[in-house]
Structure 1
Amino acid sequence: MIRIVVIEDEPLAREHLVELLSELPGVAVVASVENGRLGLAGIAEHQPDAVFLDIEMPGIKGTELMHMLPDPRPSLVFVTAYPQHAIEAFAGGAVHYLLKPISRVGVAQALSRIRPKDEPLQKEWLRLPVRKKGATRLLRPEEVEALVADLGDCMAWTPEGRLPVDGTLAHWEERLADRGFMRVHRNALVRLDAVLEMTTEDELVLATGRLVISRRRMDEVRRTLGL
C-alpha cells in the first residue's frame, strides 16, 4: 500500500487529485491539506511513502517545503501549472513533475516512478482510460483487444466498440509491453491472446475487427505466434 499526502491550495484541484489517486488499487491518501505548513505537519504525523504537492502556494512554496523535509524523505511528485520549475524540482530529488490539468494517465505515470517496475502492484494499477458517453471508464488491459492510432487519436478496440483512449500509442506500447501487447503496424498494438486467426492476406483477425501486419513486423509477429 502506497500512503500519500496531498498538498494543494486550490480546493477543486485538490479534490480532483485525491479522486484520481483513490481510484487506483494499493493507494491510500492519508492526508489532504491546503498549504505547506499543514503539509509538513501531515508528513510528520503520517510518514507517507509519497507526497503530491503544488509549487505556487501561499506561505511555504512546494520547492521550499522540499528542502525542509528530514531524511528519509518521501517520494515527491510536483503537481503544477508552471513548467519552469521542473529543473529545480528534479535537482531537489523529485521523482516526477505533473503539469496541470492532470489526467489519469499522468497520475499513473507518477505512481510508476514511486515503486519499481517489478512491483506486483504495478500490474494491478494499470488501467486504460477510455471515453464513452461523456464519462471516462477505466479498462483493464485484458478488456482491450487492440490500440489503433487514427488521425492523431488513439482508439481502443473493445467488445463495446472502438473508444477513444487517453495517451499516445507510443506511451501505451511502453506501458503494455509485459501485458501481451505487440506492435504489428506503426499504427497498431494488438493483444496477442485476442488473435483468432492470421489470414493469407497477412491480417490478424480479432473479435473486434481485422488489422494488417506491416512487412517489417511480419517475421516477429509470426515467430511470436509460433507460425
Structure 2
Amino acid sequence: MNQTPITCVIVDDEPLGRAAVREGLKHDSRFQILFECEGGEQAIRCLQKQAADVVFLDIHMPEVDGFEVLEALGDQAPLAVMVTAYDQHALTAFDYFALDYLLKPVDPERFQRSLDKVVRRVEEKRRNGEDPAQGNFMKHLRADGAGGDRLLFKCVDTLLLLEPEQLQWIEAAGNYLKLHSGNQTYLIRETMTGMTERLHGIGFGRVHRSFLVNLKFLREIHPGGAGSEAYVALQDGTKLPLGRTYRDELIRQFEPGN
C-alpha cells in the first residue's frame, strides 16, 4: 500500500538555492513539493493557508529571515530543515527546534540523510498523532505553562518575553516596531498589521496607522473637531495621535454592552 507523500515547501530568495533542494527531492517518491517561496513573507502567507509536513528554509533572506518565518507561524510551523551558507546560526536553529541544519552547497549524501531523518520524524508524528519534538520556541515556552500568557518578541539580539500588561503601546518605525514597556523601548522587525492581528482580542486597539495601544493604559480620548486635534492620552501622560479611521471603533469599545 502506498504511503501518503510527505508534503514539503522550499523557501529561499535565491533561485539556485531553490533549484538545489528541488533537484534533491525530485527523485524521492516519499516527498511531494507543494510550493516554492522566494522570501519569508510569502512563506508565512502560503503556510498559513496550506499546512505542510516540512519546510526547507533558508535563513538569510531580505525583509523576513528564516527564524522570523518560524516565529510568525507559531504552532502552525512545520518541521524545519534549515539550508544556509552560514554555519554560525546552527545553535539558534536548534533553539527553534529545527530538525536539521544543512550548509550550502549541500552534499547529496548529506541531503539524503536529512531526508531520511524527516521521514522518520513524520512517520512518528503520524503514528502518535503528534510530534513530540515539533514546534518552535514559542510552543516550547507554552508547554506545561512555561510561557504562561507571556508574549514572545524577537529583538535585534535577544528574545523578549513580556506579560500583556507590561506592554503599553507600540509605534511603527519604518520597517520596525518600537515596543514601549515602562521606561524601556525595544526594537523589533514586524509589521504593524501583523502585530495588530497578533494582539487582537487581548485588550489592544489601533488608534492610528502608526500606533497600537494597550487599552488598560488609556486614560482619555479626545475625538477632535472644530479645529482641535484628535488624540489619546495614556495614564503616564503620553499623547498619541488618533486617526479618524480608528476613532469610532475605539470609542465603540468603551460603550455600555461592549
TM bracket (short chain): 0.5 to 0.7
Contact 1:128-1:140 within 8 A present in 2 as well: no
The aligned counterpart of 1:66 is 118
* CA distance in structure 2 between the aligned counterparts of 1:66 and 1:203, rounded to whole angstroms: 53
Report how far residue 12 of structure 1 moved.
Answer: 5.6
Contact 1:161-1:208 within 8 A present in 2 as well: no
Q: What does the per-residue CA deviation read over 1:13-46, in whole Å, with 9 as the maximum and x for residues that have no partner? A: 443345x46xxxxxxxxxxxxxxxxxxxxxxxxx
The aligned counterpart of 2:246 is 217
Structure 1 residues 172 and 120, CA, compared in 2 at 3 Å: closer, same or farther?
farther
Report how far residue 7 of structure 1 moved.
Answer: 8.7
Q: In structure 2, which of residues 182, 185, 209 is the aligned counterpart of residue 186 of structure 1?
A: 209
Contact 1:185-1:217 within 8 A present in 2 as well: yes
The aligned counterpart of 2:92 is 16
Contact 2:206-2:212 within 8 A present in 1 as well: yes
Report how far residue 60 of structure 1 moved.
Answer: 4.7
Q: In structure 2, which of residues 136, 149, 163 is the aligned counterpart of residue 124 of structure 1?
A: 149
Report how far residue 107 of structure 1 moved.
Answer: 4.1
Give the number of the structure whose alpha-carbon radius of gyration is greater: 2
Contact 1:158-1:208 within 8 A present in 2 as well: no
The aligned counterpart of 1:52 is 98
Aligned residues: 160
* CA distance in structure 2 between the aligned counterparts of 1:67 and 1:221, rounded to whole angstroms: 50
Q: What does the per-residue CA deviation read over 1:30-68, in whole Å, with 9 as the maximum and x for residues that have no partner? A: xxxxxxxxxxxxxxxxxxxxx631263837543332223
The aligned counterpart of 2:231 is 203
| % same residue | 17
Structure 1 residues 62 and 175, CA, compared in 2 at 3 Å: closer, same or farther?
farther
The aligned counterpart of 1:90 is none
C-alpha root-mean-square deviation of aligned residues, in Å? 4.2
Report how far residue 177 of structure 1 moved.
Answer: 1.0
Contact 1:173-1:189 within 8 A present in 2 as well: yes
The aligned counterpart of 1:26 is none
After TM superposition, the score normalised by the length of structure 1 is: 0.53
Q: Which runs of 5+ in 2 are unaligned?
A: 1-74, 104-109, 225-229
After TM superposition, the score normalised by the length of structure 2 is: 0.48
